[in-house]
Every structure is written in structure tokens, then in C-alpha cells.
Structure 1
């Protein structure tokens, strides 16, 4: 009923606006070639003026589309009761599109005709949009991406958003009917990640995807971390020299990655015997399970010696032996000044003329004259009438990158704009920090509001000059 009412209103409007004009025959399909989805409904109008013959609709198989009947209940044509050759409007009804309806549909009257192309597509749907797969080292993993649709979709597999290219060594891509399968051989920890199958039907402007989270079970692997980059070590164990300052705390961090998540244990080694360290206040484990820190209290030289970190899971274990020995406490910085400030940073000039700033290649360090690695800054917001609470300070570690030409300028950021700070700095080597040197002033970062006002005044002045 809704279709009939809509068609009736549009038809009255179309016929009422039609004029015989100068008597020249014309024919127009009032629709464009389009793409439709399976199950959609559509009414297409064909309008003619001063026609030599009555209008007929032709299906892609060149059969005339008949009027509505018990046989033609899904696809049929319909002309208005007052239809004439001088002014005619014939409607084509297609209910519940099927893929076989695709093709050229023609409106024809005598020698006059106009054709539109209809493409009927079926959007693909994936049975599962998210999966988790547990793999094992040296074995294979296969991921299915089955999607049936029309026009045939385009498939692409990605790992962590990078396209996967079949190399017939590590990655294999196979098409089995409507399934695009990805196989990964000889699994390792490096294959852990998110794999995505992206399915695209450009003609339908349709896109779908399936994600597979792969976890590869493997024994723990030791790693080092620098600038948020992990360097993996494939050895079962290793030894490290650690320097400590007497009467100063010393933290030793042991890093290992594995799946299942490794368990960390610490031991004190005496004459080749490992004694478990059970004091929970001395050990801190990272929340993500990738590291553990031993916090030594270096009250005297009895704390020196060997310590062992063991990381294990059901797939294996690795360990590190730390040789903790006495190192020198570095000299304090002998110069500290402010060079410049911005909204969110302060630049300092720091130097230590009595410190060992040069690292000799191919030579072990002298524990009593360790090379300076950099400086540690501590900043506390200034509050009038209150002393600096250094326990609540924000700490910034900066490293000296060039040992031949010592770097003395360091930018501390990000900081709060428009804020004055108490500042203190210590020199840092591999054993620990020197005593702190406190800046005798409280530098203040620039106020964002003032900078904005200055910019607006400058902009306003420029506009006034343009108007003069």
C-alpha cells in the first residue's frame, strides 16, 4: 500500500508537469546506473513525450517485463490509467533484489530507448570478527578468513597493520573456494601480534575485517631496553658487572619476556650456592610481568658480591649473574644555570669540571673513576612560604650523548606552563648519583595565556595595517 501511494503521488506530479513541447519524441529513464544490495526494493521511472509507440521495459535477458500478476509478483511494470503516447510514465518494480537481476534494463518505445545498468551485490559477512590463537615455538599456525559475496571480494592479510606478502618460507597464502587462509610456519616469539584479514568490495563500498590475536608460547628471553626499544638476547644466561656506592641504595633490574608470563626469582650467591631472597620489600615486579627489580640496601661492603636473577615458565628458564662491586661516588656538578624557558620546558647549562667524562674504548672501566653517564634533575613546583618537598619531585634523567665533546645544555620537558620550580641536579655514573646541587633561583615556565594575547595583538595590528 505504501508503494502504491508513493507511486501514485509521484506519477501525478510527473504527468502534470509533462508538456508536449514542440512535438519532438523523447524518452528518459529517471534513474542512474547503480549498485544495490540483495534484498533491497526499487522503483524506476521511464518518462516519454510524443512517442511513436507505447513504452515497454526489457529485462537483461531481453524479455518484456509484464504487468503485475500472480506470475510477475516480484518484478513487473505498471503504467498509469491515463497513459497516452503524448505523455507517458511507466514504472518498473523490482522487489527483493537477487544477484541474477544484475544487467542492463532497457526502457523502449519504438526506435527510442534508454538503458541503465544495475549491479546487485551481496555484502560479505565474516563468521567471527575476533579470535585468539595459542601457538607453540617451531610449529605452524593457520588462520581462516572465509567470506562469500558478490562481486567477489578482495582479501589482504596484515600483521600489526603491515601487509603480509607470501614468501613461501614463513608466510603462505592459500585460496580455497571462499576461504583465504594464512599459514605461518616455524613460529617464534617474533610472530606474536595481531593479524587482520581485510575484505573489500569496492563496488558496494563495503569493508569487513577479522582480527586474530596470536600468542606464541616460548621460553623466557632476556632483553635490554633503551629508548623504548627492546634488544633480545637468545643466550640461556649471562653475567653483568654492577657498580654500587656504599651507604646509597642500588637497584638492579632484570628483564625477560616469555609466554606464559615468566616468574622472577632472586638469589644471593655464596660460594656457588644460591640462597633465595625472600624479603618482599627488596623486590618489585613490573605490572606487565616483563621485569623485576632488586633493591639493595648498601649499608656496608658485606652487601657486595654475586646476585642471581632467574626467569622461568613451563617452556624453559634463563638467568643473569650480577657481580656487584664497589664504585666511586661521582663529584657534584660545579656549574648550574638557566639558559632559557618556554611554555613547557626549561633549558639548563650543567657541567662538572672534575668528573671523568671520557669513555676509553676496548678498556674496562676503573671502578674508582667511573665515566659520567649524565645528570639527574629533580623539579618541585614552587609554593610561597613552603620548603621544597623533594620526596614529591618529578625526576628527569638525561644522558651525555657525545663523550669527546661533553654536552652541557639539557632541555627538561614537559613541564607545566606558567609554573616556577625548585631545581636540583646530581651527576650520575653507573654506580649511582653524587650529592645534589640546588639552583639558587626558581625558574618559571612561560605563561601560555600571555603568549596567546601577544599573538592576538600582533594579528590585530597586522589586520589594521592592511585596512589603512
Structure 2
């Protein structure tokens, strides 16, 4: 009887298992959101298994099994957790080191998965904004403390242009430690230098900015054209002045430290006493220029005047030849041809003016080339006379003799202005020509016009 009952139970158990039903396949995978880590961080990297028979193990890049946490094993260890849908074994790494980088393997029986963990050290530049001063003729080194792992890519820029030492080996040298050496410093080396550092594997970018100044002797230049005078021993400039008028002669220099200026009247090739009258010589506070105010009252006031600019690094001089010149004629007419909220555009005609053709200019003292116009705009106030002393002044050059349109701004919107214009040449300015008042538009007009254009465009599209 017992035998029969056992047989029935066995047959019932066998029959309860369907022939098409199989046990779930075992799985194993590393659950790592990122495989790039930074030195000093603490990370937990999980390995999850399901339907496993053998236990999960973590193997280091050297192939050594990682043990659970203990007093001797407190930096790199594993923990074991059981969840409803499987087993979770995190690999814990405290204070990650560069040596922790490599292939880490999670293994359970014949199943395994390996991932390469990249451990890097981000470049950390402590002082990212530096001011440095060099000396003319010497070299200077600009450092870029780009210490990190993997080795970063470092590129130097000057005023947003990349520096390539292979292109200019006599000027630049970039060392293995990313130091930029600039040789034989001069005024042209003054500027903003940026060391850009990139570690692509770590998705890390940083930079360092160096503001470089250079101590150098004065370099004289023309304030109107911004052209630097050549290195000839005797620098000269032809200047034209009008009899019974005032002529401002400007001596400009680039220098560090700022220069001291001295003016001399020359006779027969020799300097006279320095011109020290504060009403005659005005020097800017920053030392960028000094202006000699000449009052040409008689023919003897024409002649040679020397300007000397000196600092601790050296001295440079220029001789201005003051020649008789003629006052230009004023424009024939000036008419308003366009206006918006901030600008006014005028058409200026001058039949007596001689304009430059290409690089050729008139050097005839009685008929010098007209180089531009001066506009003055004074706000109109009803019941008050024109305040030309408080008027805004705009100096515009003639760039193309065929183009007679000139725009002045930025102005206040919906405002009426009194307008006057005069021509200018190398000697001075013409008399003023007053023209009709001009008015800027207001925002409402501009918005209405824009709205009208939009409606018109819509109608065109519909029909």
C-alpha cells in the first residue's frame, strides 16, 4: 500500500512539470554609469547577477580577487546584498588612485564582464589670472601649471591667435612643461596671453590668463593715422598752419614707464630754450601725448619745433616742420537725406574741395586736400539761442570722394537738432555752414513702420 502511494506521488510530481518549461538563464552585468573617475573620489560600482549558482566575485586589474571589508582591507573591498530579483555586489573604492585604473572584472562561474576604469587627475591651476612685466630686449617665461593625468593638451594664444613656436622659433619657445618663452621683448609683445588646457578623457577644460606688459623706450607715432614713425635717426613731420589762427601739434608716444615730454623751438638746426608755458604745452595725465598750442600771429612763428619723449629706458625725438597753409572753403550745401531713432544722414557737396585720389594728396599749401568734415549738432530748445558750446561734435573722414553721404549718431530719439558743418584739411578748418534743423524719429514711428511691413508681407503671402 505504501509503495502504491509513493508511486502515485512520484508520478504526480513528474506530470506537474511541463516539458516546454525551462529554468531562467543566469545573467551578470556591471552597472556603471561612468567609467571615468577622478583621483581622490570614492566610488561604488555595482555588479548584479540573477539566477546564479556560483557567488559573484570582483577581480582587480592584476587578477586578484577583491575581499570583503576588514581592518586590513578598508580602501578597496566588496559588499554583498540580496534583492528580490537577484544579487547585488558593489565594489567600493575609497580615495581613488591613478593605479586603480585598468580592467576590472565581475565574475560568477563561467559568466564574467570586464570594464576599463579610467582614473585621471584634473589639472588644477591655482592662479588663473596673472599680471607680468618684462623688459625690452630680454626674455620672459610664462608658466602654465598643467599637471594632471592623462597628460593634457596645452595650447597658447596671444590676443586670441594661436602661438606656434615652430612658425616663429626666434620669437617663441614652448617648453616640455608648457612654459612659453618670449624672446627679445618689444612693445608689440604687450597683450593678453591665454594658456588653454584640455583633458578630453576627463571632459575637463581650464585656462590661465597672463597680462603681459613690457618696459620699453618711447615709440613715437602719428595720432591721426596711428602709423608708427620709422626708426630713422631724425624723425620729421610736415604740419600746415593758418596765419592768425591756432594750431595744435600733437606728439604721441607708446612707452612704459610713461614718458616725460619736452618741446623746443629750433633755430638754424639748434634747440632753443624748452617751451614750458602751461598755456602752450598740455600733456595728458597718462603720458600718451603732449600738445603744443601754437598761436600763429606772424610769419616768424612758422619753422621747426622738436618734441622729445623720454623715460628710464630711453628717449626719442621728432621735429615738426610748421609750414604756411590755407583755410579750406566750407561746403556748398548740406541736406538731410535720412533719419531714424538714433542717426541722421546728410548729403554734403563741396565743389571747391580737392579730395585725395588713391594715395595722392595735394601738397599745395594754398589748396590742400580736404580730409573730412566736422559736424556739430546742438539740441534745439524753443525760446533759447543755439548753444554751440555744448554741441556734440562728430569728425568724419572722406573715405571715398564719390560718396557724399555722412551719418552721425548716436543721438536721442524724437529730438530736433541745430546743425552746422565745416570742411577740414591738414592746415585747419573752414568757416561753419549752418543748415536746416534735423529731427530723429521716435520709437512709435519705427514700430508702426515695422508693423506695416509685416502686414504687407502677410497680404502678399495670402494673395
CA RMSD of aligned residues (A): 2.8
> 1:64, 1:327 → 2: CA distance?
97
**SS at 1:180 equivalent:** coil
> 1:351, 1:48 → 2: CA distance?
90
1:424-447 deviations in Å (ceiling 9; x for gaps): 0112121111110111x2211222
Partner of 2:14: none
Partner of 1:434: 430
Partner of 1:9: none
Question: Which one of 208, 211, 216 corresponds to residue 209 of structure 2?
Answer: 211
Contact 1:359 1:371 in 2 (8 A): no
1:81-111 deviations in Å (ceiling 9; x for gaps): x579x72122221111111111122222112
Partner of 2:314: 316
Alignment of 1:84-95 (within 5 A): 87-95=86-94
> 1:366, 1:161 → 2: CA distance?
45
Q: What is the CA distance between 1:72 and its match in structure 2?
A: 1.4
Q: 1:356 and 1:147, CA in 2 relative to 1: closer, same or farther beyond 3 A? A: closer
Partner of 2:3: none
Partner of 1:398: 396
Contact 1:343 1:416 in 2 (8 A): yes
> 1:312, 1:346 → 2: CA distance?
44
> 1:221, 1:360 → 2: CA distance?
28
Contact 2:241 2:323 in 1 (8 A): yes
Q: 1:43 and 1:460, CA in 2 relative to 1: closer, same or farther beyond 3 A? A: farther
1:390-421 deviations in Å (ceiling 9; x for gaps): 1111111222234xx55422222333332221
Q: 1:379 and 1:120, CA in 2 relative to 1: closer, same or farther beyond 3 A? A: same
Q: 1:320 and 1:459, CA in 2 relative to 1: closer, same or farther beyond 3 A? A: same
Q: What is the CA distance between 1:128 and its match in structure 2?
A: 4.0
1:228-281 deviations in Å (ceiling 9; x for gaps): x54353234322222222333211111121222221122223453322222223
Q: 1:355 and 1:159, CA in 2 relative to 1: closer, same or farther beyond 3 A? A: closer
> 2:181, 2:196 → 1: CA distance?
16
Bigger-Rg structure (1/2): 2
Q: 1:208 and 1:189, CA in 2 relative to 1: closer, same or farther beyond 3 A? A: same
Partner of 2:154: 155
> 1:226, 1:276 → 2: CA distance?
25
**SS at 1:280 equivalent:** coil
> 2:252, 2:377 → 1: CA distance?
29
> 1:110, 1:326 → 2: CA distance?
104
Question: Which one of 357, 381, 387 corresponds to residue 385 of structure 2?
Answer: 387
Partner of 1:450: 445
Contact 1:381 1:422 in 2 (8 A): yes
Contact 2:361 2:369 in 1 (8 A): no
Q: 1:315 and 1:302, CA in 2 relative to 1: closer, same or farther beyond 3 A? A: same
Alignment of 1:62-73 (within 5 A): 62-73=63-74
> 1:331, 1:139 → 2: CA distance?
53
Matched, 1:244 2:241: yes
Q: What is the CA distance between 1:196 and its match in structure 2?
A: 2.6
**SS at 2:438 equivalent:** coil
**SS at 2:188 equivalent:** helix
Partner of 2:113: 114
Structure 1: gaps of 5 or more residues? 1-20
> 2:397, 2:437 → 1: CA distance?
23
Q: What is the CA distance between 1:316 and its match in structure 2?
A: 1.8
Q: 1:100 and 1:267, CA in 2 relative to 1: closer, same or farther beyond 3 A? A: same
Question: Which one of 176, 195, 198 corresponds to residue 196 of structure 2?
Answer: 198
Matched, 1:35 2:36: yes
1:329-362 deviations in Å (ceiling 9; x for gaps): 2222221211222333222122222344467988
Normalising by structure 2, we get a TM-score of 0.86
**SS at 1:100 equivalent:** helix
Partner of 2:101: 102
